A and B are shown apart, each in its own frame.
Chain A
Amino acid sequence: MGGEILVIGGGIAGLTSAVEASETGYSVVLVEKTPFLGGRVAQLNKYFPKLCPPFCGLEILYRRMRTNPKLKFFTNTEVMSISGSAGDFSVNLRIKPRFVNENCTACGKCKEVCPVEVENEYDFGLSKRKAIYLPHTMAMPFIYAIDEFKCNKCGECVKVCKYNAINLNETEKTLNLKVSAIIVATGWKPYEARKIANLGYGKFKNVVTNMEFERLASLNGPTNGKILANGNPINSIAFAQCAGSRDENHLPYCSAVCCLASLKQATYVREQYPNAKIYIFYIDIRAFGRYEDFFAKVAKEKGIELIKGKVAKVEEKDGKVLVTAEDTATGQKIHKEVDMLVLATGMQPSLAENPIAGIEVDEYGFVREKPGIIPAGVAMKPLDVMFSNETATSAALKAIQFAKR
């Protein structure tokens, strides 16, 4: 079993580089650590600046994968180590058991009988799921998975599965691959907001992160897409930019997407609550290039106030969130009482805390390129989806130069 190009990570960058390289005629193996493809974008409600759903693009990518014999993928698979050099890498993979095989028709009977309910990481713990699960109805592969650590092996699911798709005795496998080039598209995770002591995350219920907010606004999220604070509609909301980004105490770099993400999220609020007050506290609005159009459009909307000054103090009062910042344009402190505060938390490269032997990273955890080991997407630097896909396409080019058709 071998492929010419290995892609690590099944998020948007990994999928794009895998699809582009394989459609150019190269054999590609993609590995994804979790049981499902899609990565972070699958958790988003909409993309900026078009406000279109991420599943639209994912659907096309998945379809291209399904009809492409040159592209193989493994989920639940981690890269343990990489050795060798460009043109001749040896990669050790660990395939964790899924306990559910290809026979699964996603009929959903197992889920109904599973007695174990756990926090749903797809919704950042804002909802529950069963130990045997599909995160959402656009999941790829469209096969259930069992949570290795949460399943109590009661066997109820096995009893109801008519298709002989569940094997609770499945064990971990290892695999060695020989490849010519490796595209590292390991992506990112939201920065741990609890570490930002003055912003109240984890202390106050209605302080949420921007990624959690995506889930709250998503139709397939914990509230079926209704944005609610304490179960009630929103009258006012604040967005705190640079929550952890551009901050020496946290992520010193700019995460490049959060300004636009918050502007986008302001449109979610506006769509559901035409009269809600929306405050965006920022240092610099980084709507570069043609994103400026989007910024100009949102800024023009009524009831959206942009305040130049970082939120530095957050308190709670009668279930409301009290936000304080200094408006640097007027030199006055601003206090706003809002129903919800969204922290525009930044992106931390996945490899910062979970390194892979053989992949070199910089002081922040971003991958350093070397011959045959090619970063793509946020593994390379903070990027939005469009730029991630550009780097992913570029990575595909660099990879094919080491591979044989």
Chain B
Amino acid sequence: MEKVGVYICTGCDIGKLDVEKLKAVSQEFGIEAKVHPFLCSAQGIEFISKDLANLDAIVIAACSPRVKASLFNFNGKYVERVNLREGVVWSHEMNEHTQELAEDYLRIGIVKAQKAEKPEPYKQETSKDILVVGGGVSGLTAAIEIAKSGYKAIIVEKEAELGGFARKLYKSLPTSSPYTRLEEPIVAKLIDEVKKLGIQVFTSTIIESIQGQPGMLEVKLKQNGNTLNLKVGAIIVATGWKPYDATKLSEFGYGKMKNVVTNVEFESIAKNLGKKDVVFIQCAGQRDEKHLPYCSSVCCLVSLKQAKYVTSNGGNAFIIYKDMRTPGLWEDFYKAMQDDPGVFLTKGEVKAVKENGGKVVVEVANNLLGEDLTIEADLVVLAIGMESTMKGLYTIKEEFPDEKTVPYKHVYEPRLIKSAEEVEQIKQIGHILNLAYRQGPELPTLRYGFPDSNYICFPYESRRLGIYACGAVRAPMEISAAMEDARGAALKAIQAVELVAEGKTTFPRTGDVDFPNFFLQRCTQCKRCTEECPFGALDEDERGTPMPNPLRCRRCGICFGSCPERIISFKQYSIDQMSSAIKAIYVPDPNWDETAAEKFRVVAFVCENDALPALDMASMNGVKLNPLVRFIPVRCLGSVNTVFIADALSKGIDGILLMGCKFGQDYQCHFIRGSELANRRMENVQETLQRLMLEKERVRVVEVSITDWDKIAGIVNGFVEEIKKLGANPYKGF
């Protein structure tokens, strides 16, 4: 930006700084800074607004960018906030060093504004149609809701009929208060509604491939040997679940005795059940390290429902559970079923299932009756669990590391691949989406094959923009929950097609139109960017040159941090901008400045999502920091290029601190693996340090969560003390 205006606020104690000196800093850049005592007041805003016509970018030297953000918004003009309040006066003792800190921050701010460019949105002709994969309850609901919201939905179902598993149910759980009466399965109604709304349905159809990016996804369908082509904007994955393989449950007599069936099989015999006594064994092959370690959430409810099938035929139902899990309002249903005189319940462990004449005998230990219990019945029903239809599929490469690659720590269950043939074998299992994405053909999964979100706050977080999973493929759930989930995913899909139509990305940087540009002439095909992008936004050509898909991009800057050739930049977040900002820091030259020996300089790159707010909070809670440290916010620690570190060190910066989010399985990094990557890159940094003959302790990465403000002083001030012990960077003044 050429025309940069600098505005300094003196309110909230900022006036304690030497404002004249700050103005002098501005003059270094040929800009006459304007000073106002209360910049966020109506008069203050007016004070800035009257200059707007002559400005491209505005530098506000006042408070943290986290406050008054909507006030300092000038019709989308570039605004650079210089954090003098929380970042300087509130968090530091007032002295010469603090004054220099403020001056450096102003320099950084002005440089960043000057180096920023106006972004052009990536606008393409996009489709707003949404493809729903799977025609079960979740898929049908998603399609119906999409249609009702005024968008076109298309259903693809690999079976010949719609309805999925729900079609096989005899009765459904009650869905409304008082939760006592079983209901007719809703799936027939949903199928009718799909017909009524005229939603396009492809049955007996699989997806051959999906190419492109949200808003412009090219889908090849295969139906009875014919290939069909579609262009859609977003995709909902609702392929549901499969029952756990009960043949592995021979301990309960399954496969050995004809009177032992699964809860899935029981649905089909329920209609013509007759008067039978039935034992239900809960958690059969669930909550069990040998089988499924998780809880399928629905089986307690299902068995209670199936108990009703039994008692309404005059039989008795005996339910042996580990914990009765009927959370929330389902407790009402549990209560109703408890009240049924034909339902018998106890916690217990099934010791043996035996045959005795035409009957089955179940022995139950560790129950609530104080001694082992023997139940004679006509039938045993095993409450087996639900597995994701994605379980076992070849999903994305990071989940299948080979012997050469180091598995990512955020991946729960990396499945080490020994050979290319092994990959081929797994790929034979078949695919759902067949994405022609460089990183893999499916959605990444979290655990046990569920493509669930790792975020509690953002349950529809997807690492593939525009592709959202819902229903039992995502997590085990019952029908009403799956329908609710389908609506949530439908909203996200609609949101995605609307955002990408304007070239915008989704959260956490929702609305950002600036996307990374690649100066490919200098690309060395090292593939780091295509490998490291957490969102799979980059494909590759045969030579390994990245082929960006801006509409898949979430603007974290990890690619830009990964590139050793420095050829990736955003318009408003570029290598040049960041390098220049670092270079703008005034490092006293020991050759002519005698105070230089004391004036150590430390640069801290801080994640703007968690570490930066933590710094603000530390400041507001009266934490005092060493003024020798310059904090530079970054979009993600993964966007810190090792070049920045090399630049800083060769300029004479004494130490570098990188403050990012927690990583590993319970990662808090909003870009999944940014902070993990920052840690990995430290290996390269160590090489740089070696080359420069510097101590490796000069660079450190720390994990900081947003509420760690009490630890900030220890981390930051402690680091400065250690650097001081190492002594000054010998490159000062070169």
A touches B in complex, CB < 8 A = yes
Instruction: Judge whether A291 and B295 touch: CB under 8 Å.
Output: yes
B325 and A288 within 8 A (CB): yes
- Are B456 and A67 touching (Cβ within 8 A)? no
A254 and B330 in contact (CB under 8 A), knowing A106-B67, A290-B452, A296-B293?
A: yes
Q: A350 an interface residue at 8 Å Cβ cutoff?
A: no
Does A209 count as interface, using CB distance less than 8 angstroms? no
Contacts of A401 in B (CB 8 A): 145, 148-149
Question: Which segment, of A3-11, A229-237, A378-386, faces chain B?
Answer: A378-386
* Known contacts A66-B69, A219-B707, A290-B450; A50/B456 CB under 8 A: yes
CB distance from B153 to the nearest CB of A (A): 13
B309 within 8 A of A: no
Instruction: Check A400 against B491 for contact (C-beta < 8 Å).
Output: yes
Residue A55 lies at the interface, judged by CB distance under 8 Å to chain B: yes
Q: B311-327 toward A: CB 8 Å interface, digit per residue (1/0)?
A: 00000000000011111
Verify if A123 is at the interface (C-beta below 8 Å from B): no
Q: Is the CB of B67 within 8 A of A363?
A: no
Please, which residue of chain A has its CB at the minimum distance from the CB of B330? A254
Please tell me if B488 contacts chain A, counting CB pairs below 8 Å: yes
Given A57-B455, A253-B329, A293-B293, A394–B707 Cβ distance below 8 Å? no
Question: CA separation between A60 and B661, bound complex, in Å?
Answer: 14
Say yes or no: A400 contacts B149, CB within 8 Å.
yes
A385 touches B11 (CB 8 A): no
The listed residue (B294, B324, B511) touching A23 by CB distance below 8 A is B511
For the complex, is A59 an interface residue (Cβ under 8 Å from B)?
A: yes
- Report if A137 contacts B (CB, 8 A): yes
Query: Is A397 a contact partner of B149 (Cβ separation < 8 A)?
Result: yes
CB pair A56–B331 under 8 Å, yes or no, is no
Cross-chain contact of B494 among A50, A142, A290, A397 (Cβ < 8 A): A397
The interface stretch among B372-380, B513-521, B609-617, B693-701 is B609-617
Whether a CB of chain A sits under 8 angstroms from the CB of B457 is yes
On whether the beta carbons of A103 and B710 are closer than 8 Å, the reply is no
Chain A 351-369: CB-based contact to B (< 8 A → 1; otherwise 0): 0000000000011101000
Selected contact of B327 from candidates A164, A292, A363, A382, CB within 8 Å: A382
Contacts of A362 in B (CB 8 A): 177
Q: How far is the CB of A156 from chain B (nearest CB, A)?
A: 19
Contact B294 A162, beta carbon cutoff 8 Å: no
In the complex the two chains form, is A284's CB within 8 Å of B324's CB? yes
Known A-B contacts A52-B666, A219-B710, A396-B491; A289 and B476 likewise in contact (beta carbons under 8 Å): yes
Asked whether A246 and B331 contact (CB < 8 A) given A50-B454, A290-B447, A393-B492, the answer is yes
B332 within 8 A of A: yes
* B707 contacts across to A, CB distance below 8 A: 53, 55-56, 218-220
A25 CB within 8 Å of chain B? yes
A253-B331, A254-B330, A394-B487 known; A57+B324 contact, CB < 8 A: no
Question: How many chain A residues touch the partner (CB < 8 A)?
Answer: 84
Shortest distance from the beta carbon of A59 to any chain B beta carbon, whole Å: 5
- Residue A96 CB within 8 A of the other chain: no
Q: In the complex, what residues of A have CB within 8 A of residue B335's CB?
A: 252
B482-505, CB under 8 A of A: which get 1 and which 0? Answer: 001101101110110011000000
Complex Cα–Cα for A44 and B331 (A): 26
Residues of B near A285 (CB, < 8 A) are 323
> Taking CB as reference atom, which chain A residue is nearest B63?
A105
Residues of chain B lying within 8 A (CB to CB) of residue A164: 41
Instruction: Report the bound CA distance from A60 to B706 in whole Å.
Output: 11
Q: Which residues of A contact B329 (CB under 8 A)?
A: 253-254, 364, 366, 381-382
> In the complex, which of the residues A52, A219, A390 contacts B488, with contact meaning CB atoms closer than 8 Å?
A390
Cβ < 8 Å to B, chain A residues 92-138: 102-103, 105-107, 137-138
CB distance from B157 to the nearest CB of A (A): 22
Is B328 located at the chain interface by the 8 A CB criterion? yes
| Contact call A52/B293, Cβ cutoff below 8 A | no
Task: Give the contacting residue for A289; candidates B41, B460, B477; CB below 8 A.
Answer: B477
Give A67 to B71 CA distance when docked, in angstroms: 10
Q: Does A252 contact B331, Cβ atoms closer than 8 Å?
A: yes
Asked if B274 is at the interface (CB within 8 A of a chain A CB), the reply is no
A383 to B456, CA, bound (A): 12
Q: Is B170 in contact with chain A by the CB < 8 A criterion?
A: no
Determine if B34 is an interface residue (Cβ-Cβ < 8 Å): no
Q: Is B687 an interface residue (CB 8 A)?
A: no
Alpha-carbon separation in the docked complex, A256 to B488 (Å): 20
Q: Is A312 an interface residue (CB 8 A)?
A: no
- Report whether B609 and A389 are in contact in the complex, using a CB–CB cutoff of 8 Å: no
Q: Is A329 interfacial (CB 8 A cutoff)?
A: yes
CA distance A225 to B708 in the complex (A): 11
Q: Which A residues are in CB contact (< 8 Å) with B709?
A: 137, 219
Q: Does B70 contact A (CB under 8 A)?
A: yes
* Residues from chain A with Cβ under 8 Å of B476 in the complex: 289
Whether the Cβ atoms of A56 and B610 lie closer than 8 Å is yes
On whether the beta carbons of B332 and A59 are closer than 8 Å, the reply is no
The reply on A61 being an interface residue by CB < 8 A is yes
The 8 sampled A-B contact pairs (Cβ below 8 Å) are: A49-B666, A67-B511, A163-B38, A254-B326, A290-B294, A386-B459, A389-B459, A397-B494
Apart from A23-B511, A107-B13, A385-B457, 12 more pairs, CB < 8 Å: A23-B507, A50-B454, A56-B668, A107-B11, A107-B12, A225-B710, A254-B326, A328-B368, A386-B456, A390-B460, A393-B459, A394-B487
